[in-house]
Amino acid sequence: MSENQFSTDQESFWAMDFGNEYIIRNSSEDYIAPKMRLLSCAISKCRKIDSVIEFGSNIGLNMIALRPLLPKAKTVRRGDQSGSV
C-alpha cells in the first residue's frame, strides 16, 4: 500500500518500517505471560465475560493472552495485521 492511500500521518507511519519493526519486536512469546497476569487480574474484577472485541489489535497479542483465560468467550479482532477477525 502506498503512503498516499492513508488518511492520517499516523496510518502512514505505522504502515512503513516502524510498523513492521514493531511487529517483529513484539512477536515474542515473552510478552504473553505478563499480559496474561495483567488481564487475569482485570478479569477477576468482572462478571461473566461472553465476548471480547479488540480494535486495532495489530498482531493480536492481547487476544492471544485472553483466549486461555476466557476459553468460552467469543473473541473478535478488528484492524489487525493478519486481516483475520
- Round to whole Å and give the CA distance between 17 and 19: 5
Residues making up the chain, counted from first to last: 85
Sequence-distant (6+) residues with CB within 8 A of 51 are 73, 74, 75, 76
pLDDT at 46: 94
The residue assigned the cell 485472553 is 66
pLDDT at 70: 95
- Round to whole Å and give the CA distance between 39 and 67: 11
Q: Render pLDDT for 10-59 as a digit per residue (tens, 0 to 9).
A: 888 888 898 889 888 887 788 899 999 999 999 999 999 999 998 877 78
Q: Render pLDDT for 71-84 as a digit per residue (tens, 0 to 9).
A: 999 988 776 554 44
Question: Taking phi first (over 0 means left), then psi (-120 to 50 degrees means alpha), and beta for anything else, what does residue 80 get?
Answer: beta
